[in-house]
Amino acid sequence: MMHLLIVEDERILSGEIRRFLEKEGFVCDEAHTGRIASDKIFSNEYDMILLDLGLPDYEGLDLLRESIRNKGTASVIILSARTAIEDKIKGLDLGADDYLSKPFSMIELKSRILAVTRRKHGLKGNIIHAHGLEVDLDKRKAFFNEHEIQLTKKEYDIFSFLILNKNKVTTRLQISEHIWGDIFEENYNSNYIDVHVKNIRKKLSEFLEGDFLETVRGIGFRFNE
Ligand code: CA
């Protein structure tokens, strides 16, 4: 559901974060140098960037400035061994959303990611409510009156992304990038996403009256509330 970039030159830690988050359902990309991170940030639309300030080839705060200038939509959590309070304040002043000091536990990292996501979408808890539906972002499940709606992983990813962005049009390109982590021409051109959306609609219709998942012709989809 979420496309995330891990900027960390300690490869073991970077790999550990990636494996943990992928198991939790995130789509992850890694950059082990500031230069690669800078390129990736420029050419991808990430939901979130986990940014180590201590990189060998780049001043971490410069990368933060760049990422905020280029891609205003990505949230940024700083990961740093630097305990200097000035760095923390500078990072938050520049627009980082949160700051995590090393060492941290993976559970803590996940809860910070969820907290930043909630804030970004104006949510109070990990559960999104709409039309009697409940989408639990932590458990990655959707319910209607406590009955679980049996969605496949991809269906859940698409549905939760649309409901997080409810009342806004989400393009096929955005869905492709957020779900698959990349823009694959074939996904984008084919009706792959449409087939998933059709299946989601069918499953919702067993519980809900009315179709709230609107196809916006030629553009994408919008969940209306
Ligand atoms: Ca480092």
Residue numbers of the domain that contains 72 = 3-121
| Span from the CA of 148 to the centroid of ligand 1 (angstroms) | 42
| Span from the CA of 90 to the centroid of ligand 1 (angstroms) | 18
pLDDT of amino acid 190: 56
pLDDT of amino acid 84: 67
Q: What's the rounded Cα separation, in Å, for the pair 49 and 52? A: 10
| Span from the CA of 61 to the centroid of ligand 1 (angstroms) | 13
Ion ligand 1 nearby residues (CB, 5 A): 9, 52, 54
pLDDT of amino acid 73: 77
Domain final residue pick, 121, 153, 171: 121
| Span from the CA of 62 to the centroid of ligand 1 (angstroms) | 15
CATH number of the structural domain spanning residue 208? 1.10.10.10
Q: What's the rounded Cα separation, in Å, for the pair 157 and 188? A: 16
- 170 shares a domain with 77: no
Length of the chain: 225
Residue 42: band (very low, low, confident or very high) from pLDDT cuts 50, 70, 90 = confident
Mean pLDDT of 88-102: 86
- 197 shares a domain with 113: no
The answer to whether 17 and 106 have CB atoms below 8 angstroms apart is yes
Mean pLDDT of 82-105: 82
| Span from the CA of 136 to the centroid of ligand 1 (angstroms) | 34
Domain final residue pick, 90, 121, 152: 121
- 116 shares a domain with 39: yes
pLDDT, tens only, 153-205: 999 999 999 999 999 999 888 888 777 766 555 555 557 888 999 999 999 99
| Span from the CA of 55 to the centroid of ligand 1 (angstroms) | 5
Sign of CA dihedral 171, 152, 182, 134: positive
Task: Check pLDDT > 90 for residue 54.
Answer: no
Task: Check pLDDT > 80 for residue 218.
Answer: yes
| Span from the CA of 200 to the centroid of ligand 1 (angstroms) | 42
pLDDT of amino acid 17: 98
The answer to whether 108 and 102 have CB atoms below 8 angstroms apart is no
pLDDT of amino acid 14: 97
Domain final residue pick, 55, 87, 121: 121
